[in-house]
């Protein structure tokens, strides 16, 4: 008796969210299968990769990253360079300098950086806040206003600050919203429902359901994403049908596997190779459970993951 | 048809003899129901009961045993060989995955002696502990290039065997396979050799030696037919090669095979799988790392790479460890003293709960601070700080008891103890319970630890 190939068909489709404008705009989501299950049906848009840069320039970057940006004097120049690497679909500007416990840069200064970066590149832009709830509420709203017409994605609206950010980005200035929740399907769903209640079009929402580095509680990330995708497709759950974006580099470059120097970890080999593989493997694991876009940092990681996405699409 | 634990329990002798390795018959029944054990592992089951149960409780996917373990995976591991397959679900949130992915580095008759020696040295070099699990490269795959003389292949197999890991023989030539068996068959290698053209001869060879046979096919249909033919010959000790045609087809095979076995109960595909990412991305170590992660997530029982490096292994083994944890049980860290950044008895102490996520966050930040410190982990029920505090499992009493039980006062001279900011309320009580200690309230979030410690260190 020959093998009967049984396909798994879903009636629901993840919403397609377009990021950016013009020729270089990218489409996130749109699939109606589990990730890379092309044999079950066509996966509309291959997963996308964003490259992370910071308003702090190269100050906090590991040496191996600095080397790629040699000669870049401003954040705008860094952004331009970042956008030129193979496999990069969009640029992610992290405004970490806004953190009141860190550099505490004023909002106007950060908004200007975002404007400069936006003007320097023709790829779509994602702007990430500094993770401080009060600051982000003001900062991301102002960024949304300043970059009107650019169709940027703002990361992130969380339970604590979604009212300001989602309202500014989604209602007032017609930008995209990243809804961030902490590795739990119910929290993810709840936040999407709250955002919808503000009157925001869910077609403008992308989810960040949480991330971790491989080996660091990544089991929660796997199961949250597996369940989100299964519920979205299997039950056509409207409040979970948005594409998923996962910041990877912000988790992976600080763990000891990726950061311990060769003197501190004799036998582990070159620190750059460890950083790349930690980033690559974590990204692949995220993509396998449902990320429609991942945010990475090292050009080699980006080229590798991009090549794998192409091979599987 | 899956039976539930209670139905199985009714048919057991209910003697609680422990001969199966489980504390009670009930525990044994639950394991059988989950597919983690088979019914014939009970020595006292009656014939009738066995007949009733064996068909119904046969797992949809066989557990195949191969190799000889050089050492235990962890302190609870008593298996002498590797168990592969035996999974019952497609996603880890449904039920725990049981038999973790194993990894292999490759040597080939096409490599010169120096390259082989270097490769085998890299295999032995990877050996470390991660939260109680010993991480190492379990297998060496020995490739036989076309036209290799049998004695030359046997020589390489012997050399690979001396590295002390289990073997996968990637060979298509019968004479070479025979020659290899002469030097290693008692080590229970995997003979990854059968395809549509040679399966009869290879099956006989593998069965006579009592080893697992790897089967491949030009397509998933051909693979299926060859497995069916092998089963007809009576050989059910198999592992399925996902192929090296392309990344896309190997991934498709991985999913289709596992899904057919578990979702559609197609027992012909109820075997573990083997995938050679070294061949799928030859010469590209980062791509092999990517694919090793891909096939760890989706259904590779053994993943072969060209060379496992620490760079590839560190995230991969961490990923595997996460993937194979019990989704219903919070991962916990063993209580104890965890010195960080080369801390000694004079370094400051910090304490938090034994919930693995908390531990990782906190220890990661402590490492980043560069300040030598001792992280004291007590038994707090595997819950987060606030939850365990609310449950009374992380209290001034429990911390004081831990300090006493672990003989901290004799092991560490420093008398400063930082407690999580979320349980600042414990400070007063702790001061009275731990005379002589300076109790300091730390930050409420782990990310603030770097600044906190640096400030404290420089003060």
**CATH code of the domain containing B53:** 1.10.15.40
The count of other CB atoms within 10 Å of the CB of residue B273 is 27
Binning pLDDT at 50, 70 and 90, where does residue B458 land?
confident
A90-114, pLDDT tens digit by residue?
999 999 999 998 899 999 999 999 9
A42-46, B182-186, B204-208, B366-370, range with the lowest pLDDT? A42-46
A213 within 8 A of A251, measured Cβ to Cβ: yes
Buried b (16+ CB within 10 A) or exposed e, B400-423: bebbeebebeeebebeebbbbebb
Asked if residue B41 has pLDDT above 90, the reply is no
Domain co-membership, B73 together with B22? no
Asked if residue B408 has pLDDT above 70, the reply is yes
B1-18, pLDDT tens digit by residue?
456 788 888 888 888 888
Predicted local confidence at residue B1, as pLDDT: 43
B113-169, pLDDT tens digit by residue?
999 999 999 999 999 998 889 999 999 999 999 999 999 999 999 999 999 999 999
Domain co-membership, B341 together with B274? no
- Percent of chain B at pLDDT > 70 equals 98
Which two structure tokens, joined as six digits, stand for A151? 């169709």
Binning pLDDT at 50, 70 and 90, where does residue B56 land?
low
Residue A50, φ and ψ in degrees, nearest 5? -105, 150
A279-289, pLDDT tens digit by residue?
999 999 999 99
Flag if A222 and B92 touch (Cβ within 8 Å): yes
Give me the count of residues in chain A: 313
A25 within 8 A of A64, measured Cβ to Cβ: no
pTM of this prediction? 0.88
Asked if residue A48 has pLDDT above 60, the reply is yes
Name the residue facing B293 among A39, A270, A285 (closest C-beta): A285
B186 Cβ contact list (under 8 Å, min separation 6): none
Last residue of a domain, one of B273, B293, B323: B323
- The CATH code of the domain that includes B164 is 3.20.20.20
Binning pLDDT at 50, 70 and 90, where does residue B57 land?
low
| Residue B109 Cα distances to B122, B125, B231, angstroms | 17, 22, 32
Domain assignment present for residue B36? The answer is: yes
**Closest residue by Cα to residue B168 from B87, B73, B78, B278:** B278
Domain co-membership, B154 together with B186? yes
Between CA B269 and CA A194 the distance in angstroms is: 45
Segment B254-276 mean pLDDT: 95
Last residue of a domain, one of B41, B57, B73: B57
Domain assignment present for residue B328? The answer is: no
Segments forming the whole domain that contains residue B212:
63-323
Flag if A217 and B357 touch (Cβ within 8 Å): yes
Asked if residue B415 has pLDDT above 60, the reply is yes
Give ∠ CA A279-A280-A285 in degrees, rounded to 5: 100
**Closest residue by Cα to residue A49 from A15, A91, A96:** A91
Segment A168-189 mean pLDDT: 93
Which two structure tokens, joined as six digits, stand for B370? 């560069």
Domain assignment present for residue B331? The answer is: no
A76-87, pLDDT tens digit by residue?
999 999 999 999
Which two structure tokens, joined as six digits, stand for B294? 């891909």
A126-130, A185-189, B31-35, B385-389, range with the lowest pLDDT? B31-35
Domain co-membership, B173 together with B286? yes
Which two structure tokens, joined as six digits, stand for B457? 């260190």
Domain co-membership, B314 together with B356? no
Asked if residue A260 has pLDDT above 80, the reply is yes
Long-range CB pairs of B157-164, under 8 A, 24+ apart, other chains included: B157/B183, B157/B184, B158/B183, B158/B184, B159/B107, B159/B116, B159/B120, B160/B107, B160/B116, B160/B120, B161/B187, B162/B120, B163/B120, B163/B123, B163/B124, B164/B70, B164/B124
Asked if residue B252 has pLDDT above 80, the reply is yes
Residue B447: half-sphere exposure toward Cβ, Cα within 13 Å: 9
Domain co-membership, B138 together with B90? yes
Which 246-265 residues of chain A touch chain B by CB within 8 A? 252, 254-257, 259-260
Average pLDDT of chain B, as a whole number:
92
Domain co-membership, B253 together with B346? no
- Percent of chain B at pLDDT > 90 equals 73
Flag if B256 and A5 touch (Cβ within 8 Å): yes
Predicted local confidence at residue B368, as pLDDT: 81
Which two structure tokens, joined as six digits, stand for B164? 């002390």
Last residue of a domain, one of B57, B81, B97: B57
Segment B207-225 mean pLDDT: 96
DSSP letters for chain A: ----------S--PPEEEESSGGG-EEEE---SSTT-GGGS--SS--EEEEEEETTTTTTS-HHHHGGGTT--SHHHHHHHHHTSTT--EEEEE-GGG-TTTT---HHHHHHHHHHHHHH-SS-EEEE--S-HHHHHHHHHHHHHHTTTS--EEEEE-TTTHHHHHIIIIIIS--EEEEE--S-HHHHHHHHHHHHHTT--GGGEEEE-----TTSSHHHHHHHHHHHHHHHHHS--GGG-S-BEEE-HHHHTTSHHHH--TTTSTTS--HHHHHHHHHHHHHHHHHHHT-SEEEE--HHHHHHHHHHHHHH-
Segment B285-306 mean pLDDT: 98
Give me the count of residues in chain B: 459
Domain co-membership, B46 together with B140? no
Domain co-membership, B41 together with B85? no
Segment B424-438 mean pLDDT: 93
Domain assignment present for residue B330? The answer is: no
**Which residue matches tokens 């997963």?**
A47
Between CA A155 and CA B437 the distance in angstroms is: 44
Asked if residue A125 has pLDDT above 90, the reply is yes
- Best of B127, B286, B339, B454 to substitute, by most chain A Cβ atoms within 10 angstroms, is B286
Average pLDDT of chain A, as a whole number:
95
Handedness of CA A115, A57, A277, A257 (dihedral sign): negative
* Chain A closest-CA separation from residue B357 CA (Å): 6
Predicted local confidence at residue B55, as pLDDT: 65
Residue of chain B whose Cα is closest to the Cα of A271: B311
Domain assignment present for residue B329? The answer is: no
Domain co-membership, B104 together with B245? yes
ipTM of the complex as predicted: 0.97
| Domain total of chain B | 3
Domain co-membership, B133 together with B150? yes
Flag if A3 and B220 touch (Cβ within 8 Å): yes
Does an H or E element contain B199, and which? helix B199-209
Segment B19-43 mean pLDDT: 85
Domain assignment present for residue B428? The answer is: yes
Segment B41-67 mean pLDDT: 82
| Residue B350 Cα distances to A261, B342, B355, angstroms | 24, 15, 15
Cis status of the peptide bond prior to B3, with omega within 30 of 0: no
Question: Across the A/B interface, how many CB contacts are shorter than 8 Å?
Answer: 169
Between CA B254 and CA B223 the distance in angstroms is: 12
Flag if A274 and B221 touch (Cβ within 8 Å): no
* Chain B closest-CA separation from residue A177 CA (Å): 25
Asked if residue B86 has pLDDT above 50, the reply is yes
| Residue B98 Cα distances to A128, B152, B306, B316, B319, angstroms | 39, 38, 26, 17, 15
- Residue A26, sorted as left (phi over 0), alpha (psi -120 to 50) or beta, turns out to be beta
Asked if residue B59 has pLDDT above 90, the reply is no
- The CATH code of the domain that includes B376 is 3.40.50.11600
Predicted local confidence at residue B327, as pLDDT: 81
Q: Which domains, and CATH codes, for chain A?
A: 19-308 (3.20.20.20)
């Amino acid at each position: 008796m020959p093998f009967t190939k049984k396909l798994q068909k879903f009636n629901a489709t993840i919403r397609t969210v377009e990021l950016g404008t013009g020729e270089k705009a990218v489409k996130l989501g749109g699939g109606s299968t589990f990730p890379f299950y092309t044999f079950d049906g066509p996966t509309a848009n291959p997963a996308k990769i964003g490259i992370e840069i910071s308003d702090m320039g190269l100050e906090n970057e590991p040496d191996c990253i600095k080397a790629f940006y040699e000669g870049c004097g401003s954040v705008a120049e860094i952004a331009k360079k970042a956008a030129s690497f193979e496999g990069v679909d969009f640029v992610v500007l992290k405004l970490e300098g806004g953190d009141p416990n860190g550099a505490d840069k004023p909002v106007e200064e950060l908004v200007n950086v975002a404007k400069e970066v936006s003007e320097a590149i023709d790829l779509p832009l994602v702007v990430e806040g500094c993770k401080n709830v009060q600051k982000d509420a003001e900062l991301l709203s102002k960024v949304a206003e300043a970059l009107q017409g650019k169709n940027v994605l703002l990361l992130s609206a969380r339970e604590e600050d979604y009212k300001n950010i989602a309202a500014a980005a989604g209602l007032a200035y017609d930008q995209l919203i990243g809804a961030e929740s902490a590795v739990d399907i119910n929290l993810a769903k709840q936040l999407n429902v709250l955002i919808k209640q503000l009157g925001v079009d869910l077609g403008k929402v992308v989810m960040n359901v949480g991330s971790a580095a491989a080996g660091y509680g990544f089991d929660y990330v796997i199961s949250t994403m597996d369940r989100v995708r299964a519920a979205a497709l299997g039950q056509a759950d409207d409040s979970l049908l948005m594409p998923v974006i996962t910041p990877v580099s912000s988790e992976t470059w600080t763990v000891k596997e990726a950061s311990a120097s060769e003197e501190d970890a004799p036998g582990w080999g070159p620190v750059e190779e460890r950083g790349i593989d930690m980033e690559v493997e974590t990204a692949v694991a995220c993509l396998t459970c449902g990320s429609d876009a991942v945010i990475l940092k090292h050009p080699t990681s980006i080229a590798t993951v991009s090549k794998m996405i192409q091979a599987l699409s | 048809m899956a039976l539930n634990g209670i139905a199985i329990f009714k048919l057991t002798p209910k003697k609680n003899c422990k001969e199966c390795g489980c504390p009670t018959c009930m525990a044994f029944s639950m394991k059988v129901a989950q597919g983690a054990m088979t019914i014939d592992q009970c020595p006292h089951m009656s014939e009738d009961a066995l007949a009733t149960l064996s068909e119904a409780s046969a797992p949809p996917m066989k557990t195949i045993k191969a190799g000889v373990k050089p050492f235990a995976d962890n302190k609870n591991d008593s298996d002498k060989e590797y168990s592969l397959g035996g999974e019952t679900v497609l996603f880890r949130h449904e039920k725990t995955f049981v038999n973790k992915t194993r990894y292999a580095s490759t040597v080939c008759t096409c490599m010169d002696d120096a390259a082989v020696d270097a490769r085998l040295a890299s295999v032995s070099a990877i050996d470390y502990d991660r939260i109680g699990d010993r991480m190492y490269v379990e297998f060496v795959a020995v490739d036989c290039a076309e036209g290799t003389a049998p004695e030359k292949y046997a020589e390489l197999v012997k050399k690979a065997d001396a590295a002390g890991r289990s073997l996968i023989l990637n060979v298509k030539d019968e004479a070479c396979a025979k020659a290899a068996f002469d030097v290693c068959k008692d080590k229970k290698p995997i003979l990854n050799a059968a395809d549509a053209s040679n399966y009869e001869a290879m099956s006989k060879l593998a069965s006579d030696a009592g080893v697992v046979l790897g089967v491949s096919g030009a397509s998933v249909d051909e693979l299926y037919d060859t497995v069916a033919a092998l089963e007809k010959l009576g050989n059910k000790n198999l592992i399925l090669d996902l192929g090296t045609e392309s990344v896309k087809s190997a991934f498709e095979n991985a999913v289709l095979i596992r899904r057919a076995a578990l979702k559609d109960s197609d027992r012909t595909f109820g075997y573990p799988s083997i995938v050679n990412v070294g061949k799928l991305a030859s010469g590209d170590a980062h791509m092999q790392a990517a694919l090793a992660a891909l096939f760890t997530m989706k259904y590779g029982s053994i993943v072969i790479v060209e060379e496992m490096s620490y760079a590839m292994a560190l995230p991969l083994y961490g990923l595997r460890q996460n993937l194979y944890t019990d989704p219903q049980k919070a991962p916990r860290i063993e209580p104890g003293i965890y010195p960080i950044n080369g801390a000694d008895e004079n370094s400051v102490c910090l304490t938090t709960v034994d919930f693995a996520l908390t531990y990782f966050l906190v220890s990661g930040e402590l490492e980043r601070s560069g300040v030598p410190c001792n992280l004291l982990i007590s038994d707090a029920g595997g819950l987060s700080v606030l939850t365990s505090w609310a449950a009374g499992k992380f209290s001034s009493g429990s911390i004081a008891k831990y300090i006493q039980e672990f003989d901290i006062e004799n092991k560490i001279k420093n008398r400063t103890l930082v407690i999580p900011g979320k349980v600042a309320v414990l400070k007063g009580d702790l001061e009275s319970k731990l005379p002589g200690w300076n109790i300091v309230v730390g930050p409420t979030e782990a990310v603030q630890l770097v600044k906190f410690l640096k400030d404290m260190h420089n003060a």
